[in-house]
Structures are given as structure tokens and as C-alpha cells.
Amino acid sequence: MARKFFVGGNFKMNGTIESIKGIVKNLNDAKLDPNTEVVIAPPALYLLLVREHLKNGIEVAAQNVFDKPNGAFTGEISVSQLKDSGINWTILGHSERRTILGESDKVVASKTKFATEGGISVIWCCGESLEDREAGKTIEVIEKQLAAVSPKIGDWKKVVIAYEPIWAIGTGKVATVQQAQEVHAAIRKWLKANVSETVAAETRILYGGSVNGKNCKELAKEEDIDGFLVGGASLKPEFVDIINASQ
């Protein structure tokens, strides 16, 4: 079964009411590849604004979700609140959450379990630092991240994996097509050996790390690259070109 191409847009802590309405209008008016699944993740403050104005067929993701039910957790958003608001996706394990906010593999795994069991789909991120890459530890680091989350996932249909080399996020540096494909293939090999052949064949693995309108088509041709998680370029008109990269 062919894996449906997937493009996520992570706005991070960017945007205003005016600019985000502009991004939404651009997506609503654009001719998007019907064979690509599109999910955009605005800051939490704008989730409802985006959901109310975005056309049907494009989903909205939170950039984080908590691993406890509603309660005394100041500043957090619950799975049930996302569902109540028509938000069906969340990004978890992004390198900025792991490195800046200190989220461990264990915390990310717990959030992934809570989200998927509560009916929210997850863009689960993994990736290595420049030090790891230069020490030849890329695969080792990612396998450790996979090993932490894998036992917590009951339904892999609710998970999309995003490989994001930390050294290529927002730096303008991009892993070569070969580097990206090698890691994607290694992730799929790990899933086959440690989860199942079916999960390995069906799970979509995205590349994230300074993807733009110029490099997306070449990356999209690779066998194990099933789409992108886009940062800065998701705020620009070229996001449409990235969505249409596999055409």
C-alpha cells in the first residue's frame, strides 16, 4: 500500500492574527495536491482562529499537549481540550522542546501514549545533534528515541515520524538527500525489526530541517521520505510548492 504524502507546517512561536489569517487565506486559495495530507501547527493562542477559517481537508495541530487529564496544570493544554476544539493532531518531541525545555525521551513517550490513546494523532520528532552526527552516533541516538516511545504506542496509524537533524533546523543547512534517505531507511529498518513489517511499511517518515521550495522536490523522490515537517518556510508562500513537491 502506497504511503500518502504528508506535509506538516510548524509555525513555532511566530505569527500575529493578521499574518496567520494571510497564511490561511493563501492555503485556502491555493491549488493543493489532493494526494498530499496537510497539517499546520500555529501557536496555541491561534489554534481556534486557524481551525475556524481553514478549509476542510487541511488539519490543524497543536505544538504540544500534556500527558494528564484536565486539572491543576497551569499553562498546559489537554487532549480532551484539543478534541473539543476540533484539533486532531499534535507535534511531540520536537528538538526545541527536548533541548530548550528539557523534555526527556520518557516525557515525550508519555505524552505520545496519552495523545494517541485519547484519539489525537502525533507527529513524533526525532533527531541528532551536530556532535552526535560528527561522532557517528546518528542511528544510535535515533534508535534510543524510538526504543523509548515504541512500547507506548498501541495504534501506529496515529503516528507520523519526523526525522529532524538538530543541526539542520533553522540553520539553512540541509542534510544531503543521501544523508536524509539513509536515516529514513534506518528508521524503517528499526520499525521492521522491533515493531512489525506492517508498521514499517505503512508508517510515514517525514524529513524536517530547513526544507524549502528549492530542495523539496529532490528530497521527495527518495524511497523512504514520505513528506516534510516544515518550519520557517511554512510561514511563506513557498509552503504551497512544498505541499505539491511529490506531484
Which of 94, 96, 103, 184 does the annotation list as catalytic? Answer: 94
- Asked about 53 being catalytic, the answer comes back as no
Q: How far apart are CA 237 and CA 247, in angstroms?
A: 18
Round to whole Å and give the CA distance between 103 and 101: 6
- First-to-last alpha carbon distance for the chain, in angstroms, is 18
Q: Are 119 and 92 in contact (CB under 8 A)?
A: no
CA distance 182 to 225: 10
Q: Is 222 a catalytic residue?
A: no
Instruction: Give the list of residues 6+ apart from residue 79 with CB closer than 8 angstroms, or none.
Output: 65, 66, 69, 114, 115, 118, 119, 120
Residue in 59, 128, 143, 164 annotated catalytic? 164
Q: Are 208 and 96 in contact (CB under 8 A)?
A: no
Alpha helices in the chain (DSSP H): 17-29, 47-53, 79-84, 95-99, 105-117, 130-134, 138-149, 177-194, 197-202, 216-220, 239-243
Active site residues: 94, 164
